[in-house]
Amino acid sequence: MPMTLSRARVARRIATAAALGGSGIGLLGVAAAGLLLTEVRLARRTVGGSKETPPSADGRYGAAFGHRTGQAPLRLGFLGDSTAAGQGVRRARETPGALLASGLAALSERPVDFRNVALPGAQSDDLERQVDLLLAEGTQAPDVCVIMIGANDVTHRMPPARSVRHLSDAVRRLRAADCEVVVGTCPDMGTIEPVYQPLRWVARRLSRQLAAAQTIGVVESGGRTVSLGDLLGPEFEARPRELFGPDNYHPSAEGYATAAMAVLPTLCASLGLWPESERPEEARREGILPVEQAAAEAASEGGTEVAATRAPWALLKHRRRHRLPSPEETDQPPVVP
C-alpha cells in the first residue's frame, strides 16, 4: 500500500505538470540517469530489435455481419508505436489491431473497418501527426480508437509530463471528434529478457510510474485506460520464449493475443457493447476511487480498466475476458501484408 500511495502522489504531480505545460519532474538522479542511458545502449545491442515493416492489417472485418444485419460498419482506429503496429509478427491476423477488430466485429455483430496509423519507434510526440491522419478532411472519424504508447518515451528519457501532455492532447482531440478512446498504458520495460540489473529495476519503476500518470491524463481527458505492464510482466518472465518474438523485444503472436484479450472488454464497453454492468463489483475488488489512487492500483495489476466517473473520482474495473475470435471466424477478407 505505501508503494501504491507513493506512486499515486508522483503520478498526480506528473499529470499536473503536464496540464500546466511544465517539463515534469525528474524521477532519477543525474548519476542514475547516466547509468540508465549507458545500460539502455548496451541492452539495445543485445536485444537487436526487428527492422521489418509490420504487416498491414487494414481492411474490413466481419463483412458477413453487414450482409445479414444491414448495419453500417463500426470504424476502429489504432495509434501508437511498434506494439500498436504489430511489429515482431509476420501475419496480419496476428497483430493486436486485427485481433481487436475481429473481436469487436464478433461481439457487436457488425462489420468493422480498421485503420492503423501507428509508427514503429514512435514516441508520444508523434501522436499529433497520427491523429491528423485519422481526422483528415474528407475522412470519417473513427467510432473508437485504441492507443498503445510509452515504451519509447521511457527508453529515450522523454520527460514524463511532456509524454503525458502529448497523450492527453491526442485523447482530447479524438473525443472532440466524438470518438471513444481506449489507451493501453506503458508496458513493463523490466521484462525484456536480455536486460539485466540495475536497468531492469529502473525500467520497471519508470514504466509503471509513467503508466499511472498516463491513466490520470487519459481519464481526465475523457478516455479509458487498460494497464498492460503487470499483465504481461509475470507471463513474459515465466514464458519468454512463447510471449516474446524472434527479436526478444516485441511480443510474439501469443503475447499480442494476451494484450488484446485484456483490451477487448474495455474497447467494447466504451461503445456500450460489453454485457457487464458499469457499476463496481466489490467481490472483484472494484470500486470508485480518487483518480490518482485508481491509476496507481491499475499500474500494479495488469488488465485493470480505469474510466471516469464524476471528478475527481474514477471507476476501477477488472472485466472478465473472453476468448478472442480469429479473423477467419469473422469472415475477414484477405489483406495485403
pTM of the complete model: 0.86
Name the residue with higher pLDDT: 335 or 260: 260
Residue 134 lies in a domain: yes
User: Is 332's pLDDT higher than 70?
Assistant: no
Band of pLDDT at residue 18, cut at 50, 70 and 90: confident
The boundaries of the domain holding residue 97 are: 2-330
Average of per-residue pLDDT across 287-305: 91
Q: How confident is the model at residue 252 (pLDDT cuts 50, 70, 90)?
A: confident
pLDDT at residue 51, as a whole number: 64
Q: How far apart (Å, rounded) are the C-alpha atoms in residues 134 and 175? A: 13
Q: How many CA atoms lie within 13 A of 24 on its CB side?
A: 21
User: Would you list the DSSP string of 30-72?
Assistant: HHHHHHHHHHHHHHHHHH----SPPPP--EEE-HHHHHHH-PP
DSSP secondary structure letters along 214-271? HHHHHHHTT-EEE--HHHHHHHHHH-HHHHB-TTSSSB-HHHHHHHHHHHHHHHHHHT
From the number of C-beta atoms within 10 Å of its C-beta (0-12, 13-18, 19+), residue 47 rates as middle
Encoded amino acid at 42, one letter: L
pLDDT at 105: 95
Lowest mean pLDDT among 105-114, 180-189, 229-238, 264-273: 229-238
Of residues 130 and 152, more confidence is placed in 130
More confident residue, 323 or 259: 259
Higher per-residue confidence, 53 vs 106? 106
Q: Is residue 335 part of a domain?
A: no
Q: Is residue 336 part of a domain?
A: no
pLDDT band at 321 (very low <50, low <70, confident <90, very high): confident
| Angle made by CA atoms 162, 298, 36, in degrees to the nearest 5 | 50
**pLDDT reading at 27 higher than 60:** no
* CATH code of residue 264: 3.40.50.1110
Residue 260 has pLDDT above 60, yes or no: yes
Q: Are 316 and 279 in contact (CB under 8 A)?
A: no
Q: Please count the structural domains in the chain.
A: 1
- At residue 135, does pLDDT exceed 90? yes
Instruction: Kindly state the average pLDDT of the residues 147-163.
Output: 89
C-alpha cell at 186: 506503458
**pLDDT in the model for residue 154:** 83
The pLDDT of residue 196 = 60
Instruction: Enumerate helices (H) and strands (E) in the chain, giving the number of each.
Output: 13, 9
Average pLDDT, the chain: 82
Q: Which residue has the higher pLDDT, 151 or 250?
A: 151
Per-residue model confidence as pLDDT tens digits over 195-228: 566 666 777 788 888 999 999 999 999 999 999 8
Assigned domain for 337 exists: no
Over residues 80-96, the mean pLDDT reads 91
